[in-house]
Structures are given as C-alpha cells and as structure tokens.
Chains A and B, each alone.
Chain A
C-alpha cells in the first residue's frame, strides 16, 4: 500500500493522549461518571467519520474505482454482472465481511468469496435469518488500509437507471448517509440527462459531490470529454470538480510501484480531496472531544479554586459557601421530572410524533392517488416492471423526505432543549470567584450540545437516517453506523413484494379487472411500507427522547455532583484547623497547577483540531 495521500494522524493521537490523561484525572478525583464519558469519547474518536457514497449508472466502473482507491479487490468486478447490494468498506484491523439483513440482523464473519457473490446478487446464497428476503440489504467489509484508517468509509452502490426495480432505489436510499458523493461516469460518453437529473437530486440534499470520469486509459478523446463534461456541469449549474481517472493504471502503479504511472492514473488529486474531507471531519471530532475534556477540566478547576479561596481566606468563607449552596440548589432543580427542560421535551416529542404520523399518511395517500392515475394509463400485464420501478423510486423519495422533515424537527427540539438547559443551568456552579473561571461551568452543558455537536451535524447537510436512528451521531457512538442506517426502513420497504406474479399470470382477464387488482396491490404495498416506516419512526422518536433525557440528566447529575463536592470541600476547608489548612492549601495549589496544565493541553488540541485543512 502506498503512503501517498496520507494526512497527519497527529491531532487524533494528541486527542487520544489527552483523553487518557483526562480519564486518569477523573479516576483520581473520584468522578467515575466522567471517567465513563471519557471512554465513550474515545470510542467516538475511533469511529469512521466520513462516508463517501460512490454512485453512477451501472458498468461505469464504480466498484473498480473503490478497488483502485484501496489497492485491493474488495468489490467484485465483472464484465457482465453488476453490483446489486450496497457494500460498505470501512476500517478494521483484519479483512472481514459481514451481512446485514433487514431488521438489522447481522451475520458476522462471512467468507469474502460469499460476500462477493452476495454483492452481485448471485443466487447460491445460503438462506438468511429471515425466510423472506433472499439477499442481504448490505454487505460490510472491513480492511486495514491507511485511507480507511483516516476515517473514510466507502460505499459502493448498485447502478442507477438499470432495469432492476430495486437498484436505483437502493442507491438513492444510501445517499442520506453521505458526507460526500462521487458520481462515476466513464470516458466513453458525455453525461446523460439521467445523470444530470441524479446530480440534481443529490444537490438538493446539500452534501458535497464530485464527478469522477473513469476509464481514461481506454479512450483517446478523454481530455475533450472532460472539457465537455465540465461544460455540461456548468450549464446545469453545478460547481463541482471533475476528476479524470484510470483505475486500471492506478492498480498497475500499485503493483509495479511506478510513480509516473500513478501520476497518469489521475488518482492523486482525488485522494488528496478525500483525505481533506476525512481530515476535516476528523478535526471536527477532535475539536469537539477536546472541548468536552476542557469542560470537564474546567469543572474540576472551579471546585479546586473555590476550595483554595476558602483555605486562603477563611473569613470570607461564609459568603462563598452560601453561593455554592445556591449553585447546588440550582443544579438540583435541573434534575428530576419537574425541570423545565423535561417538561418541554415531553411536550415537543408528543407534538412531533403526531406531526410525523400525519406527514407520513399524507405522503402515502398522495402517492397512491398518483399511482392510480398511472395505472389507468397502462396495461399492468405488460407494463408492470417499469411501473414497479417507478413505485419503488417514488416510495423511496417520499420516505426520504418524510425522514428529512422529522429529522429537521428533532434537531430544532434538541437545540431548544439545550437553550433551556443553558438558561436554567447558568450559574449553577458559578460559585467560585476566580475572575476567568466565573460561570465557566454553566456554559459547559450548552457548549457540549450547541458548539460541539449540533452545528457540525447541521453543517453536514442531511445525515437524515443516521440522525433518526436513535440519534446515534448526536449523542453516542454506536458501532457500524453505516450498517445500521443502510438497513433502514427504506431498504426494508423495498424488499417487500408487490404481487407482480399474480398480475403477470392474469393474461386473460379484462384490463379493467387487472387494473383494479394492480391498484389493490400498490395500496397493500404502500400500507406495509407505511406500517414499517411508522413503526420505525415511533421507535426512533422514543429512543431519541430517551437519549436526550439521559444526556441532559447526566449533565444535570454531574453538575449537581460537582456543586455538592465543591460545597463539601469548601465546608471542610472552612472547618479545617491551621496546620491541616496549610497542608491542604499546598495540595490544592499543586492540584490546580496540574489541572491547569491539562486544561491548557485540552485547549491546544481543541484549537489544533479546529483549524481545518
């Protein structure tokens, strides 16, 4: 594997080291819940951060592109058979494959050859855990590659525009995962109307995209083609980069180690861009993690400073102790079911649930009406296949928009809760009178939610299905993110059957009868989809609400604990006698020094992570 395009892993290493220290500090100062939190942050740092979805019409060289990027035969390539099941390739210390079936059931440790067979939709698969679907919704492959280690996850998708009803829809369903989209179109022909239409759809979701013009090794006029394609993109109003590449040359270059060949392959600019994306996302995570650590350290510092000021000036202790007591009470008010944010959360989610339900029903009803109209214009006995493809595509679109609506609402709820929490919690721990530290901790909660996580989520455009999956990105670090989201209800819905067989056998019956039968089967299909999606949506909202509650409750708890410990320390400091006081003062001063060093380090990492390449 070559070392080209390797960004520095240093910020991540720094952040890791920082987390290690912070965790030690949490254990040493008896803050077990913080120690746990540091461990969670560590897992988050290890998660792949950037998902690149590779899309395009079939037989344009999508799978080969991924293979060439990674320098490994990960995605099966064949002259004839095309990719049928999305394949997620991410980092892992050993090469392994697993299947994800509808309902998020996993079959780990599948043989790689079998995985390849599944990707191309080969029929000789052993039956899955559920009786019905014969192919997994997703194949996940882990591989030890530097490009992946940087946090890139590459997703190979079935070609769009083909004949398989499910293929286009599957490709579309995987788009919400994307932090970036690569459209692959080979050098043999200009961009087509359907490709431009597809780009429009991607653009509407606001994630960055680029055009990869593949197979430059095969076509003499590839430069002119690139020029024309740039023109087409401009004409269509897209401001995006075009990368002419030859996967074959890159694979040759990797095998032979010939740098000139590698330059010719045109891969370098593409890899640089991907590295930047990965680096940028990683830097975001590093910054968020470091800020989190800084918040925790600030809290520690605040307690120590309070204690120190009492030790140094016992006469003034009464005022300070009173303030600390008040802060503790304020923190206490944030706990429990009576807190304002809890009330607000329960109300907002109840509203959202009914809004979502209504939205879904409205969409599906509209879709059924549209389908009815179409059926009236066609003969279901002969035109069923394209019609079915259309239904699948429309269903995917509607579900997608539905999730986007719900997702946007949840983001705004989370933001509002964070605001409430911030206002009510402000000053909950502002007992200490050390100028620069005053009120610092009150902001921590808000900072964690607002600065650290939510905006970057919004900035990423629409990570819809991810977000909706129990807010995995928002508050936690759940392994196999992509796996989860790709086994999403859209895929499940698309796996449902539409009763085509019975229709095809109806060769003799009158057209009117066949049409009404067709309408019936569309309706049943849409019903089932609604059922799945509705159920998923309710579960998701419940899960999200729980996550939010746990998140804020934990915050309130730790603020309260911090305030209590500060108060206790202050009280014991006030009660301490002379010699003990002197000894404790020395200790605390030393601790403050230590904690300050840690804090500086955290701020430095945060700053370094914050400067995007």
Chain B
C-alpha cells in the first residue's frame, strides 16, 4: 500500500507544479515533492528555556545545539544526517552561505563572521549520525521569550513554510501560551484538524519537586494528568516526562564521571548530604570528600543536581558497579527511550502517511488557484486520495475521538484508539495482543473486533457520525484480519504503513 499512496501524491504534486502559474506555489510544491523522500522533519518547540536544545542534543546523541543559560536559540536550526559535516545559513532572500564551525565540548561553535543574524532564515547543520537518519530535528526559538524570537517558531509551524511533519512540544507546566501555540499548529493541519502529529513532553522532568529522588515519579504523574486533559488531548498525542539533561549526560558518561560519583556515594551520608543541599555548595563548598571543586562543577553541568543525586544513590543502593551500567540506568530513567519510541514508531512508522498528509494539505491550499483541465484533475486526485485512503480516515477518526467530536464511552474509547494504532501501530498492538501472538490469534482477534464494531455500527439509535466511526473501526479490524491471511506472518495491515524493523 505504501508505494501507491506516496507515488500518487508525488504524481499529484508534479502535476500541480506543471499547471500552476504562481511561482511561489511552484516552489513550495517542488519542495514538498522533495520532502516525500526525505527524513521526517520533527520540530522541537516550546517556551523559552523549556529545554529544547538539550533535548535535541539528547536525541541526536551529540553536543550540537548550544544550551547556555539565557535564551540561546534565536534562529530555527535544523540538524540532519548527511555525508559530511557542514553548516549552512539560509538567508531570507534564498541565498545560502557556508559557515565555518568547530566541534566544541558543549556545542557546535559556529562562526557567523559578517553574516547578519537578523536576515538568516534558518541554519542547516549536516552531521553524519545514525540517530538523525530517519528524522531531521529542528531546534526552534522559544515562544514567550523577551527577545521576540519566538515569533519565528510560530511562523514556522503555523505556516507550511518550514515543512514540519511533526512536533515534539516541550512544556514544563502547562501554560496558556502552550495551548495557543499547539492550536496554531493543529489549525494548520486542515485535512484532519488533529493531534496526530504532535507529542507533548514534560521537559526538565528532573527538576520537578526540587530534584528529589522521586522527581521522575512525580513527573510521570503530572504528564499523565496533562495527557488526559481534554484540552491537551485534542492537541497532542500524549504527554511523556523526559529529563533531557540526564539523558544527554548519560549518553556521554565517562569513566571519570563514574569514579567521581562513586567517591560521593562512598562518602558519609552527612558529608554528601551537606554538599547536595544546593548547587552552590556542591560546586564551591569545602568538603572532606576527595573531589575538587572543578570536578564537582563538571558533574553538575553534565548531570544536573538530580542526576548527581540519582547516580549516587544508584551506586550506593542500586548495585550499579560500572560506568556503562550507570549510563544505561540513567538513560532508562530519563524517559528518553519512551520519547524515542514514540518518535520512531508513531511518527517515523507513519512518516509516509504524515508526509502524504502534509503534501495533501499543501495541494488542498494550492489547487483552487489551478486553472484549466489540469487543475480540475489535480483537485479530483486530491479528493480521491482524501476520501479513498483508509489511513486518512483512521487519522481523522482518531482526531475526532480525541477532540470529542465523536463520543464513545470510556472503555470503548480506549479500544477504538488502540485499534486505530494510537498506542502501538503494529497489528498485535492494535488488537491489544502480546507481541508473540501468532497469526491465528491476531486473525481471530481482528475478526472479533470487526464483528463488534459492525454490530455497533448497525445500532439504529446511533447518531450519524457514530455510525460512520464504527464503520471505520470495523474496516480497520477487517484490514488487520485480511493482512494476516494475505501477507503471512508479521505483515502490515491496510492503513498501517512503514517498516516494522
């Protein structure tokens, strides 16, 4: 199913590009066509100091984005996999300048020379990296910052200009401006006004509750509450807690860090406790513990107060004996894995659908201006795709369920969302089965689900949109059932696109 869909969309884009008489549109269509083959563009957005750059670094696994104190990201910067290392400034007038740069300890150091930052539209960083192969990350200026640079992010996401496929939205505590921003992004998506392409991250989760050891537990609770809020549900897929600094620190942990943490862990509880009262004490106060202040300052920089406390406690009580084991444990607790899974499974696996959808949105916007028979053909093609492809209907229904336009009772709602691939897009995931379930089981379960939703669809008392929703659900389940018979083990169902590797 994958190829035909993307191919059809590519075809439409090409056709529209030929027909259009408006230069600006032609350029956008060409860009959209190029993007169909490109990695998924994921923007990392949020208020100032929400930890966007730290998270970008953690996801990329390299110290790329500068994370000084202060509002440091003022230009939209993309980080993409490439054959070589390069930094390019794309100017507002379309010109491109190659910029010299150095690989720094904390971040990439880019020399801007005579380039006027105010007219730089975007910085493009090319960096050979496995982590960036499937997704290109866009670091964005924080909204609500006093520099006003945040308006650039709003432009980027509210218009198609930036070509953003999905958003990781960072929030520390849910603020009114966060919702306004996400609404802007959701409204752009006119095809299915929906939350499908955004995930919320409760960022700097390690700082919740004064960086106590149970910070992540609290953060999880808060994230869950936000995730269940109706207003949030209709804007983003889910909310997960992530301690970006912890994750990034873990990815760069060195033997010396482990030694330093071990020294702390072996010291007396009172001695260590006195140091850990505040960052000032930790970085400067005299202590009998055999760690100089430079080492301590480096530890705090790298892991944050919570990371140091947690690392210490893991060594002291958790039986962690080696640096790799500690790094692994810290990363596991940072919540980054969960976010990665969502990005890779939900976004990347559905990348084609999302890309097709983004392209269709553009076509939808451009096609009314297309003249002649060619124009009519494009419009028909767009319409056909939008109404014919079951995946779009699945996404549309998912959004309708989330925004409350279609209402189902609690248990039914969860099953329906699951069946639509909201939690896990694999066939067994959709049917709430164990990953080891064999095809027969998947098939039996799928047929059962199909029957259940058919019966629901036939209820004469249903409002019209509920009947339609049940039909879509039944169709999804039938698709799962036929996919298992026709394509053999672990095949993909209709509407479920992308690899399962």
Contacts and interface: CB of A to CB of B under 8 A. Distances in A.
Given A59-B173, A220-B300, A389-B176, A248 B278 contact: yes
B176 A386 contact: yes
Interface string A336-378: 0000000000000000000000000000000000000000000
A190 B72 CA distance: 11
B305 interface: yes
Interface stretch (B3-11, B88-96, B201-209): B201-209
A169 B209 CA distance: 26
A58 B175 CA distance: 9
A249 interface: yes
Given A161-B175, A189-B48, A192-B47, A218 B146 contact: no
Interface in A197-221: 215-221
Given A163-B174, A218-B211, A192 B278 contact: no
A194 B144 contact: yes
A261 interface: yes
A57 B279 contact: no
A33 interface: no
Interface stretch (A115-123, A224-232, A286-294, A525-533): A224-232
Contact of A224 (B70, B173, B229): B70
A28 interface: no
A215 B210 CA distance: 8
A80 interface: yes
Contacts of B305: 218
B209 A79 contact: yes
Contact of B405 (A59, A221, A264, A507): A507
A188 interface: yes
Contacts of B404: 507
Given A218-B279, A220-B301, A249-B277, A382 B176 contact: no
A218 B215 CA distance: 13
A42 interface: no
A264 B144 contact: no
Interface residues of B, number: 47
A105 to B, nearest CB: 32
B174 A218 contact: no
B48 A219 contact: no
Interface stretch (B217-225, B253-261, B329-337, B410-418): B217-225
Contact of A194 (B177, B209, B231, B280): B177
Nearest to A58: B173
A252 interface: yes
Nearest to B301: A220
Identify the interface centre among B144, B177, B219, B297: most chain A CB within 10 Å of its CB.
B144
A192 B48 contact: yes
B218 A220 contact: no
B71 to A, nearest CB: 6
Contacts of B179: 163, 386
B298 to A, nearest CB: 11
A103 interface: no
Nearest to B234: A382
Nearest to B222: A80
B280 A217 contact: yes
A508 B204 CA distance: 41
Contacts of B297: 220
A219 to B, nearest CB: 6
Nearest to B278: A217
A193 interface: yes
A80 B202 CA distance: 12
A385 interface: yes
A246 B145 contact: no
Given A194-B144, A386-B179, A261 B277 contact: yes
A260 to B, nearest CB: 9
Contacts of B145: 190, 192-193
The 4 closest A-B pairs by CB, nearest first: A189-B49, A217-B278, A221-B69, A79-B218
13 contacts: A79-B209, A80-B222, A162-B173, A188-B49, A192-B144, A192-B145, A220-B279, A228-B70, A232-B146, A386-B176, A386-B180, A389-B176, A507-B405
Interface of A: 57-59, 79-80, 161-163, 188-194, 196, 215-222, 224-225, 228, 232, 235, 246, 248-249, 252, 261, 264, 382, 385-386, 389, 507-508
